[in-house]
Structure 1
Amino acid sequence: MKMTLVAIVTAVAALSFNAYAEEMNMGGDSMQSMNMNRTMKEVTGAKAEGSIKAIDQEKHMVTIAHGAIPAIQWPAMTMGFTATPEQVMGLHTGDKVAFTFSTVGSTAKIESIDKMK
């Protein structure tokens, strides 16, 4: 009985780890295998909506989980954007926002951001 229970727990743990690893690898595709040309070209005025996950006033960064952005062929993801203190004033973790941003290389910068109602 004890051996059967240990075998079941081990099997469940192994399957859970595989599912988690597959989820973190986005179905087998790692971030390194993504078409990085999408993030390397300069983008201006891209529009998106998302939810604020974190605001770091010292680093002037706001982390946003945004939906897919078809105009620049980006999938939904959570990422950091540089922002001025004035841009994030009055915003809080969990707020739903609509924003525009630009990118240069791998740096994304908020151009405008508004709390959604």
Structure 2
Amino acid sequence: MKEKTMNRARLTIALGLAALTAACGKKAETPVAAETNQAAPAATMSGDMGNMAMAPAARTAIKAKGHGTVTAIDKTAGTITLNHGPIPEANWPAMAMAFKAAPAITDAAKVGDKVDFDLTLTGNAGEVTAIHTQP
């Protein structure tokens, strides 16, 4: 009887390991979670992102526009953090988020500026490609 129980336990463990091994190479089929969003190199996102779904993770770039306020600039990292309104092209709600930006953009903006900006979204990464200060 004890041997039969041991064999069942071994079979259960073997089946569990086989299932785990089979699942190792598969990607999740659910929307990308906020923690994996690579547009923000640091923990700079805030707001209600519970139902945030990324734009299709295509390899082609998606152009988007936004409005917001500059909350931080890191010239060394080449990022600009914007507290922006919803961005429909990316299916993003309003939030604060860091984006890659060229030196010309980080040099042109100041913390506290209210801005209109253009984004290029590739997969899960975003880059500010133009920024215009609102009067």
> What TM-score bracket applies, with the shorter chain setting the length?
0.5 to 0.7
1:112 aligns with 2:130: yes
- Quick check: which has more Rg, 1 or 2? 2
TM-score (norm 1): 0.65
Aligned residues: 89
Q: Which residue of 1 aligns with 2:48?
A: 26
CA–CA separation in structure 1 for the residues paired with 2:48 and 2:105:
32
Q: How far off its partner does 1:72 sit? A: 3.1
1:50 aligns with 2:72: no
SS at match of 1:54: strand
Alpha-carbon distance change, 40 to 114 in structure 1, aligned in 2, over 3 angstroms = same
Deviating runs (4+, > 3 A) in structure 1? 24-27
Query: Could you report, residue by residue, the CA deviation over 1:65-96 in whole angstroms, capped at 9, with x for unpaired residues?
Result: 10012233211111111111111223111100
Q: Which amino acid aligns with 1:38?
A: A
Q: Which residue of 2 aligns with 1:38?
A: 55
Q: How far off its partner does 1:25 sit? A: 8.0
- Among residues 68, 79, 82, which one is paired with 2:86 in the alignment? 68
Give the gaps of 5 or more residues in structure 1: 1-23
Give the gaps of 5 or more residues in structure 2: 1-45
SS at match of 1:71: helix
Structure with the larger helix share: 1
Structure with the larger strand share: 1
Moved more, 106-115 or 48-57: 106-115
> Is the CA contact (8 Å cut-off) linking 2:114 and 2:134 kept in structure 1?
yes
RMSD: 2.3
CA–CA separation in structure 2 for the residues paired with 1:106 and 1:71:
13
Q: Which residue of 1 aligns with 2:7?
A: none
- Percent of pairs identical after alignment? 30
CA–CA separation in structure 2 for the residues paired with 1:48 and 1:74:
11
- Among residues 108, 116, 133, which one is paired with 1:98 in the alignment? 116
